[in-house]
């Protein structure tokens, strides 16, 4: 079956309209911002977990004035499909390419990823490094795996539990409260975990997203090897007070390219932080 595109309205910036790319059982929702109808070159910008693709409109100051921006929704976000099985990264990359072609756009070599989108960006770069002139990641996931994620996503037993874990969701919430009450869990980790567990719909999204993106996790060795073979491409930014993606995670990128730290938490898409990233004189 030939891939198709379907339009539907969405709340957000008036110049954006979400569309859907369909091929087989893959559904990829996306939007494109064009500074000019005549512009044909586009960057790709990928959002963070549980956030809308429209967040990535914030990165426009980081791009040439005439560059369009393709913003795809990650698996299990918006109307992008999520599956209880790993998504093939090559199929996802090919879908992005097909969208660009269908829209009459050419990729300009710039890939931007925020948080979970940073992990996907690192995966794409290490899979197809020759395609990128600039890969900018902000508070990128994918550098450190905690034990809970490693068990639930990377082991067969963990995945089997994860796929039926909705039944234990309330018990997990109670366990988190108990561990916090005896100060075993830090406050930020307690709140972060509750955010993902307190509603059945959010927990279902977590499961579908984690399993779908299981293969989008490049090893540190692969990142370093790619950076050595393609120097001057990767650029990373972290929040000095970030408790979601901790600044010490940046150690995994040592020697891979410039790493910058900013006076914020996880909110690297704030206008003032974007301006710091855009202006070389403001980087620290």
Domain with 230 in it: what CATH number? 3.40.50.1820
Residue 36 pLDDT class (50, 70, 90 cuts)? confident
Which of the residue ranges 75-89, 160-174, 219-233 would you say has the lowest mean pLDDT? 160-174
Question: Are 46 and 78 members of one domain?
Answer: yes
Note whether 196 and 229 are same-domain residues: no
Q: At 257, is the pLDDT very low, low, confident or very high (cuts 50, 70, 90)? A: very high
Cβ neighbours, 10 Å, residue 209: 20
Between the ranges 2-6, 149-153, 174-178, where is the mean pLDDT highest? Answer: 149-153
More confident residue, 110 or 9: 110
Determine the straight-line distance between the first and last CA of the chain, rounded to whole angstroms: 50
Task: Please indicate, yes or no, whether residues 32 and 99 belong to a single structural domain of this protein.
Answer: yes
Given pLDDT bands bounded at 50, 70 and 90, which one contains residue 213? very high
Please tell me the pTM assigned to this model.
0.88
Q: What are phi and psi of 3, to 5 degrees?
A: -65, 150
Q: Mean pLDDT across the chain, nearest whole number?
A: 89
User: So what's the pLDDT on residue 183?
Assistant: 78
Residues 111 and 10 placed together within one structural domain of the fold: yes
Asked whether the beta carbons of 111 and 121 are under 8 A apart, the reply is yes
Residue at which a domain ends, from 164, 182, 211: 211
Is residue 138 located within the same domain as residue 71? yes
In total, how many domains does the chain have?
Answer: 2
Query: Span 69-81, mean pLDDT?
Result: 96
Question: Do residues 231 and 171 both lie within one domain?
Answer: no
| End residue of a domain, out of 171, 193, 211 | 211
* 197 plus 273 within the same structural domain: no
137 in the same domain as 261: yes
Alpha-carbon gap, residue 190 to 27, rounded angstroms: 33
Dump pLDDT digits (tens) for 82-135. Answer: 977 899 999 999 999 999 999 999 999 999 999 999 999 999 999 999 999 999
222 and 275 both lie in a single domain: yes
Can you list the alpha helix ranges (DSSP code H) found in the chain? 89-102, 116-127, 147-154, 156-163, 169-181, 187-197, 200-212, 220-229, 271-278
| Residue 125 and residue 265 in one domain | yes
d(CA 232, CA 20): 34
pLDDT at 188: 66
Range of the domain at 232: 4-143+217-282
- Range with the poorest average pLDDT among 21-35, 61-75, 113-127, 171-185: 171-185
Closest to 159 measured CA to CA, from 83, 60, 53: 83
Assign 3-state DSSP to the chain and report helix, strand, coil percentages, each to 5. Answer: 45, 20, 40
Structure tokens at 234: 């990767």
Q: Are residues 34 and 56 in the same domain?
A: yes
Q: Do 243 and 190 fall into the same domain?
A: no
Residue showing tokens 């859907």: 20
């Amino acid at each position: 079956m030939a891939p198709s595109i379907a339009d539907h309205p969405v709340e957000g910036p008036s110049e954006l309209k979400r569309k859907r790319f369909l091929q087989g059982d893959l559904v990829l929702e996306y939007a494109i911002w064009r500074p000019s109808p005549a512009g044909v070159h586009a960057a790709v910008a990928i959002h963070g977990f549980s956030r809308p693709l429209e967040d990535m409109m914030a990165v426009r100051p980081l791009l040439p004035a005439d560059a369009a921006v393709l913003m795809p929704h990650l698996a299990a976000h918006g109307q992008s499909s999520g599956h209880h099985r790993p998504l093939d990264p090559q199929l996802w990359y090919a879908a992005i390419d097909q969208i660009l072609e269908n829209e009459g756009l050419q990729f300009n070599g710039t890939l931007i990823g925020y948080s979970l989108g940073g992990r996907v960006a690192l995966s794409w770069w290490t899979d197809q490094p020759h395609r990128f002139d600039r890969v900018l990641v902000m508070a990128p996931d994918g550098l450190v795996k905690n034990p809970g994620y490693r068990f639930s996503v990377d082991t067969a037993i963990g995945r089997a539990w994860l796929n039926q874990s909705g039944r234990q969701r309330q018990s997990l919430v109670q366990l988190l409260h108990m561990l916090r009450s005896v100060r075993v869990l830090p406050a930020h980790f307690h709140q972060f975990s509750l955010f993902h567990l307190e509603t059945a719909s959010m927990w279902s999204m977590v499961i579908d997203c984690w399993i779908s993106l299981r293969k989008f996790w490049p090893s540190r060795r692969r990142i370093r090897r790619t950076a050595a073979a393609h120097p001057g491409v990767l650029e990373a930014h972290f929040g000095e007070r970030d408790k979601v993606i901790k600044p010490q995670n940046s150690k995994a990128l040592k020697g891979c390219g410039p790493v910058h730290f900013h006076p914020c938490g996880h909110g690297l898409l704030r206008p003032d932080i974007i301006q710091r990233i855009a202006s070389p004189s403001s980087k620290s």
